[in-house]
């Protein structure tokens, strides 16, 4: 892996869409909160931590290839726009594969929008492949929860913020549906010290 992939991607993202850059670093921070429990419960080992961090900070790298208009619009996306936005996991995967990132990081990026139940319909469908359950790579299942939680509590031009308490409740409720139930439980437990609003 080329040593400066992370600063290069983050540098491009900073110029393109600062909200995505902030999101990447917040997801990495939420992963940091989870790491003690993930290692304690032997879900990951110490040696996995650097690759999990890299996966978290790069998970939306494919958004570099999404048009500025789509990233910044204040409108709900139309069907065709949504289709284009939902290409970002595969675009990120292909781009980082060309830079020789290892497969465990690549697969986390490719599958971070899949759903535990494999549902590909509804408001939050799993994509790109409809992979489900333990077929979703572990790092992707960890990132999914942190990613969704940050999306809930953060301001976006097209939606309001959800209070932390309500967002935690939703993460719990979506265990076994959107998320790996065990990982969603660990996330909620790891957040016990997180400042409530
Ligand atoms: Fe994403």
The domain limits of the chain are 5-192
Q: Which residues surround ligand 1, an ion (CB under 5 A)?
A: 60
Ligand 1: centre distance to CA 146 (Å) = 11
pLDDT higher than threshold 80 for residue 159:
no
Ligand 1: centre distance to CA 142 (Å) = 13
What does the pLDDT average to over 99-115?
97
Which tokens go with 188?
A: 């909620």
Ligand 1: centre distance to CA 60 (Å) = 5
Chain position carrying tokens 């400042």: 195
What does the pLDDT average to over 73-82?
86
pLDDT higher than threshold 90 for residue 157:
no
Residue 159: strand pairing partners: 156
Which tokens go with 159?
A: 């939606």
Helices 5-16 & 18-40 angle (0-180, nearest 10): 140
Check residue 43 and report its DSSP letter: S
* Higher local confidence (pLDDT), 125 or 2: 125
Ligand 1: centre distance to CA 9 (Å) = 15
Exposure of 152 by Cβ count < 10 A (0-12 exposed, 13-18 middle, 19+ buried)?
A: middle
Give residue-wise pLDDT tens across range 23-53. 999 999 999 999 999 999 999 999 999 999 9
Q: In the structure, what pLDDT confidence band is assigned to residue 76 with cuts at 50, 70 and 90?
A: confident
Please name the fold of domain 5-192: Hypothetical protein af1432 (1.10.3210)
Which tokens go with 156?
A: 């976006």
Which tokens go with 10?
A: 């983050």
């Amino acid at each position: 892996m080329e040593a400066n992939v992370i600063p290069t991607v983050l540098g491009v993202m900073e110029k393109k869409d600062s909200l995505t850059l902030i999101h990447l670093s917040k997801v990495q921070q939420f992963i940091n909160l989870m790491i003690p429990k993930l290692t304690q419960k032997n879900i990951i080992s110490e040696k996995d931590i650097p690759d999990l961090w890299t996966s978290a900070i790069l998970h939306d790298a494919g958004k570099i290839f999404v048009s500025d208009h789509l990233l910044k619009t204040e409108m709900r996306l139309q069907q065709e726009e949504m289709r284009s936005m939902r290409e970002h996991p595969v675009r990120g995967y292909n781009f980082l594969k060309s830079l020789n990132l290892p497969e465990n990081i690549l697969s986390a990026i490719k599958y971070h929008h899949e759903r535990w139940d494999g549902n590909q319909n509804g408001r939050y469908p799993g994509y790109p492949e409809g992979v489900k359950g333990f077929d979703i790579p572990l790092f992707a299942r960890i990132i999914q929860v942190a990613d969704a939680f940050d999306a809930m509590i953060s301001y976006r031009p097209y939606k309001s913020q959800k209070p932390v308490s309500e967002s935690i409740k939703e993460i719990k409720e979506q265990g076994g549906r959107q998320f790996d139930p065990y990982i969603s439980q660990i996330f909620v437990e790891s957040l016990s010290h997180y400042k409530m609003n």
